[in-house]
Chain A
Amino acid sequence: MSRNLILGTLLTALFLGAALLSFLWTPYPTDTVAITERLQPPSAAHWLGTDHFGRDMLSLIMVGARTSIAVALVAVGIGLGLGVPLGLAAAARSGGWLDEAIMRMNDLIFAFPSLVIAILITAILGPGALNAIIAIGIFNIPVFARLSRGAALSLWRREFILAARTAGKSAPRISAEHILPNIANLLIVQGTIQFSLGILAEAGLSYVGLGAQPPIPSWGRMLADAQTMVALAPHVAILPGLAIVLTVLGLNLLGDGLRDRLDPRLGVVRT
C-alpha cells in the first residue's frame, strides 16, 4: 500500500469518525452559549479553545464535519445516481439522438461556472443545507455522465460485450451486468475526488451564508464568523480552515491512492 493511500485513509477516517461520534457524544453541547468563556485559547478543559459565544471548538468542528460530509456525500450520490445511468445510456446509444441529447445537456451544465450557479440556486430557493446539496449535486451529474460514457464506449467494442449481444441481452441489461462492474473502479476514484470538491463547495456556500443555517454548525460559517476576530483569537479562524484543508487533502490522497491501485489503465488490477 502506498504512503499516500495510508495517509489519505487515516485523515478521511479521522474526520468521518469525528462526524459519526458527534451523533452520540461531543465534549460540550454546541447549542449553549457561555459568554464568560468566549475566545479562550486551547487549554486542558477546551482542547481547541472556544469561539466568540464560548462554545467548545472541538465540539463545533465535530458537528461541522457532520454537516460538510453529509452535504458532500449526498451531492456525490446525486451525481452517481443520475450521471452514471445517463452516461451508460448515452454509450449504449452512441451516435444516436439520445447520446446527442445527453451529451449536449452535459455541455450546457459544464458551460456554467459551478459555484456561481450554486450561489444563484441557493439564493433563489433560499439558503439551507438541502438546497446546497441540490446545487452541488447538479454539477456532479455531468462529471459522472461523461466519465461513465467514455469508459463504457471503449468497453462496448470489446468482444465479451458482443458475446452478450449474441446472447440476446438488451442494452440496459448489458450496461448493468457487464459495463458497470468494469467501470466501478473509475467511479470510486472519481467519487472521492468529487467528494472533496463537494466539501469545498459546501464550505464556500456556508461562508457566504447560503449553506446550513444557524444554529447548525458548519466549517464555512465558522470561518465567516471568525474573520473579524482573527487578531483577537487566531485559533478561531485557523482551526475550521485546517479542518477543511486536512479533509480535502485526505480525500485527494485517498482518491489518488485508489486510482493507482484500482485504475486498470495505470497497470494491472491487483485483486
Chain B
Amino acid sequence: MIPSLVSKYLGEREGQRPSHLSDRTQSDSKPLLEIDALSLAIHDKPILKNLTLTIAPGEIVALTGESGSGKSMTALAAMGLLPQGAEITGALRLDGTDLCALSERRLCALRGREIGMIFQEPMTALNPVQRIGAQVAETILVHKAMPRGVANARAAEMLARVGLPPERVPPTRYPHELSGGQRQRVVIAMAIALRPKLLIADEPTTALDVTTQAQILDLLRDLVREEGMGLMMITHDLAVVSEMADRIAVMKSGEIVEQGETRRLFAEMRHPYTRQLFEASRHRADLPEPRPDGPLLRVAEVTRHYPGPRDGLFRPGQPHIAVNGVSLEVARGERVGLVGESGCGKSTLARAILGLEPVQAGEITLGGAPVYRHGKPDRAVRRRVQVVFQDPYGSFNPRHRVGRLIAEPFHLLDDPPRGPARDAAIAQALSDVGLKPEHAGQHIHAFSGGQRQRIAIARALIIRPELVIFDEAVSALDVRVRAQILDLIADLSRQYGLTYLFISHDLSVVRGITDRVLVMRGGEIVEAGETETVFDNPAHWYTKSLLAAAPSLPRPPGGGPEDDPEPDA
C-alpha cells in the first residue's frame, strides 16, 4: 500500500467494508473475480459461451484472441456495461457479490470504486476540455468518496503515482498538451483513483509506440503488485501477454479454448488454436532471394515541414519539421523496410514519394525521372508507384463495387484497357491475391479485413507498378490474417519480382519481410543496413532501445536456435 495523504478517508472507506482489506493481504486462495459458466446472447445471437475464469488479488490474467472472439464483451460484462438486448446466464461474482443480480444503481456505485477500467485510445477516453487533475478528481467525487479539496489532493497524488509528478506535469494541463503515453497514464490514474480491487485494461497499449508500451506495461505490473489489485488484461498481442500475465485465457468465437499459467500454457499449447496464434505471431514469410538490379528510387536530401502555430498575429510560428534532409536509395528488386515510432515522419516521406505531399527541399526520382516537375506530380512517374494503406475499412469508397475499386489506377494509363480486356485485368488481379474473379461485382462491405487488404494489394498491383509502398499495411490485421497477407506479399514477390518499401512500427513484421531496413527517428534516418545485421547488431542507441522495448515471445517448445525470436539472438 502506498503512503497516502488522505489516509483518513481511505481508512473510513475501508472501515465500511472491513472484510476486503484482510482479503487482499491474506491470500490468493479466494478469488477476487469469479466468472462461473457465463453465457451471453445479444438478440438471441450467442456471444459468449460458458466462460469460467477467476482472477485472484494481485494477479494478472490476460484474455487473448483475435478480434470478435469476445474479449471485450467479457470485460463489458464484468463492468455491467452490456448493450441493450443482452441476456446473460451463469454468474459473475466480485468478492462474492453476483454482479448479474445487481441493479443499475448498485452497478454505478461499483464502477470506478471497485472496478477500474483502462481503455485503448487515451485521446478519446479523456475529456478534451477538462484539466487532467479535475478528470481524476471527478472519478472520486462521483462516488462522493471524499470532499473536493481532499479529492484534488488524491488526484495529484495518483497522477504522481502513475509517473506524472506535479513539478513536471502539473494537474492543470489539458489532455492535448500531453503525449500519448502520458495520456494513457492519466487514464490509468482515473482508473485507480479509488484503489479499485479489480482493474480491467482493454488493449491498454495497442495505440502506443513500443517504447511507451514498455513503460506503461511496467507501470501496470507495479500497480498490481503493490496495490494488490487484480488485473484483467485484454490484448491481441501474444508477446505482450507472455511478458505480462500470470495466467492466460485464449478465446475463440466466444469460448475460452485454453487457459492456464503462462509458462505452462506456452510450453504445452494443448489447443490447436493457441498453437496457430503462436505460430502466426512469430511468422516469417518465405521471401525469395533478392535480385537487386540497378537503382530505382532515389530520395536526396528531402525536407518537408509544416507551418507551426502562429506566435503572434503577424509572426509565423516555428515550422514543424516532419522529414529533415532524408536521403535513401532503393534498388529494383529490393525489399526495404522503414521503421520508426508514430510521428517520426515515415508516412510523410511515403506520401512525398507518392507525389501526394510537395517537398520544400531535395529531390525524389524514380528511375531517374523526378516525381515532381514544376511543383506538380508527374503522371508518367506516378504510374510507376502504388500504395497499400493501413486501414482496410477506410481505404475503399463504400459505394463502389470491387471491380471499379481495383480498376481505379487505370486512370493513370494513357490507354487503359476497356471492355473485356479491363474485365480480364480485374479478374487476373483478383486471382493474383487469392480472391475469385466473381468478387468484382460485390460491394466492399461484404469482405473481411484480410480480404479487403487483399483487394487493396490487387488495386496497387493492377497497373504493374515498379515500386509498391506498404504503409502499415498489416498493422490493423489479426495475427493469423497478417501471416497470410505477409505470405501473399512473398508469393507476389516470387511471381512478379516486386520492389517495395514496407513501412511499419512493428519490428518483428519488418524483420520477416524485408532485405534491408531503415530506422527513422525525428524526421531523420538514424540507421540503415541489411535487416538481419541491424536486428542482430544494432549500432544506433535508438535502434537498440526499440529492440529492447519490443516484447518478445517465449521460445517455442523444442525450437532450434534459428527459431529464436529474441532480438539479441
Contacts and interface: CB of A to CB of B under 8 A. Distances in A.
A165 B389 CA distance: 13
Interface residues of A, number: 14
A168 B382 contact: yes
A159 B394 CA distance: 6
B394 A166 contact: no
B383 A168 contact: yes
A169 B397 CA distance: 14
Contact of A160 (B351, B386, B396, B409): B396
A91 to B, nearest CB: 16
B398 A182 contact: yes
A46 B517 CA distance: 88
B308 to A, nearest CB: 15
A167 B389 contact: no
Nearest to B377: A168
Given A166-B409, A168-B411, A160 B383 contact: no
Interface string B385-411: 111011100111111000000001111
Contacts of A181: 397, 399
A224 interface: no
A160 B394 contact: yes
Interface in A139-190: 158-160, 162-169, 178, 181-182
Contacts of A163: 387, 389, 395-396, 408, 456, 459
A160 B377 CA distance: 19
A160 B411 contact: no
A179 to B, nearest CB: 9
B408 A164 contact: yes
A165 to B, nearest CB: 6
B21 interface: no
B356 interface: yes
Nearest to A164: B408
A10 to B, nearest CB: 30
Given A167-B408, A167-B412, A159 B391 contact: yes
A159 B354 CA distance: 13
Given A165-B356, A168-B382, A168-B383, A159 B411 contact: no
Contacts, number: 54
Contacts of B408: 163-164, 167, 169
A160 B354 contact: no
Interface in B407-455: 408-412
Contacts of B399: 181-182
Contacts of B270: none
Contacts of B382: 166, 168
Contacts of B412: 167-168
A164 B407 CA distance: 11
Interface in B347-390: 351, 354-356, 377, 379, 382-383, 385-387, 389-390
Contact of A159 (B355, B385, B390): B390
A225 B390 CA distance: 66
Contacts of A167: 408-412
B34 to A, nearest CB: 36
Given A166-B356, A167-B408, A168-B411, A159 B383 contact: no
The residue in A158, A164, A168, A169 that gathers the most chain B C-beta atoms within 10 A of its C-beta is A168
A160 B400 CA distance: 11
B379 A159 contact: no
A164 B385 CA distance: 13
A160 B409 CA distance: 12
Contact of A166 (B386, B391, B398, B410): B386
Contacts of A164: 397, 408
Contacts of B386: 166
A147 B355 CA distance: 29
Contacts of A178: 397
B397 A159 contact: no
A231 to B, nearest CB: 56
Interface in A16-37: none
A164 B412 CA distance: 10
A169 B400 CA distance: 16
A30 B401 CA distance: 53
B395 A159 contact: yes
Interface string A64-87: 000000000000000000000000
Contacts of A160: 394-397
A159 B389 CA distance: 7
Contact of B379 (A165, A168, A182): A168
A162 B411 contact: no
Nearest to A159: B395
Contacts of B410: 167
Nearest to B351: A162
Contacts of B379: 168
A158 B394 contact: yes
A167 B397 CA distance: 14
A265 B408 CA distance: 27
A35 B409 CA distance: 73
Contacts of B409: 166-168
A166 B468 CA distance: 11
Contacts of B456: 163
B414 to A, nearest CB: 11
13 contacts: A159-B390, A159-B395, A160-B395, A162-B356, A166-B382, A166-B385, A166-B386, A167-B412, A168-B377, A168-B379, A168-B412, A169-B408, A181-B397
Interface of B: 351, 354-356, 377, 379, 382-383, 385-387, 389-391, 394-399, 408-412, 456, 459
Given A165-B356, A167-B409, 7 more contacts: A162-B356, A163-B387, A163-B389, A163-B459, A166-B382, A167-B412, A182-B398
Closest 9 CB pairs of A and B: A159-B395, A168-B412, A159-B389, A167-B409, A167-B408, A159-B394, A181-B399, A160-B397, A167-B411
